[in-house]
């Protein structure tokens, strides 16, 4: 006996199964996560580069402030200008033998005569920084002013002075900042001379 089967034409349907869909979603999610990690690292590196650049400018500014202070004393101090400059910065000495841990200059936005308006303070650790933290405001930039609207900048500048000889000083300006728990710093050094000839 012969059986006749009726052949049913089934259309083959195309599409994704549940497993294929889950695999595709997993690959897409993993790709997005990798891109976010790379992007986050790039933003973090850019922020670190910005902080390093700002710290470099602030460290160089510290050298320029000391140079301006020296010039102010030498130009307006007469025959005792260099000696008065050395006396003014005695607390900026480096190391225990000099009796100091550095200093910072409060310039009140300008280093102009009279010399008595220039304030030099000893560094004392505060807020994790080795010295007074610089403040920041949109209008004035970085300074030690405590005006309303100024906020902590996250940077602290320490100026150290070392004797080379009677007529020469080595100035080192170091700016510290934190990123997480790490303390980063940028330092610049320069030599200052008594350029006024003795008469």
Alpha carbon distances (Å) from 177 to 129, 130, 141, 187 = 8, 10, 17, 12
Quote the CA–CA distance of 185 and 102 in Å, as a whole number. Answer: 15
pLDDT digits (tens, 9 = 90+) for 174-193: 999 988 788 899 999 999 98
Strand partners, 172: 160, 189
The 8-class DSSP code of residue 4 comes to: -
Residue 57 phi/psi, 5-degree rounding, is -65, -45
DSSP string, 18-37: HHHHHHHHHHHHHHHHHHHH
pTM of the shown model: 0.72
Contact 135, 151 (CB under 8 A): yes
pLDDT digits (tens, 9 = 90+) for 44-60: 788 888 999 999 999 99
């Amino acid at each position: 006996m012969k059986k006749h089967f009726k052949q049913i034409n089934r259309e083959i349907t195309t599409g994704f199964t549940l497993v294929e869909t889950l695999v595709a979603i997993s690959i897409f999610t993993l790709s997005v996560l990798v891109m976010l990690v790379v992007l986050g690292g790039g933003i973090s590196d850019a922020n670190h580069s910005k902080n390093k650049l700002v710290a470099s400018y602030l460290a160089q500014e510290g050298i320029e402030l000391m140079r301006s202070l020296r010039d102010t004393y030498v130009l307006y101090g007469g025959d005792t200008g260099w000696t008065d400059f050395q006396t003014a910065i005695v607390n900026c000495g480096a190391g225990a033998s000099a009796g100091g841990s550095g200093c910072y200059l409060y310039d009140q936005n300008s280093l102009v005569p009279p010399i008595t308006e220039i304030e030099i303070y000893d560094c004392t650790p505060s807020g994790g920084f080795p010295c007074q933290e610089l403040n920041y405001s949109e209008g004035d930039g970085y300074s030690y002013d405590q005006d309303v609207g100024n906020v902590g900048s996250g940077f602290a500048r320490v100026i150290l002075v070392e004797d080379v000889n009677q007529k020469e000083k080595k100035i080192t300006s170091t700016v510290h900042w934190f990123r997480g728990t790490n303390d980063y710093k940028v330092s610049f050094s320069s030599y200052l001379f008594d350029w006024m000839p003795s008469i």
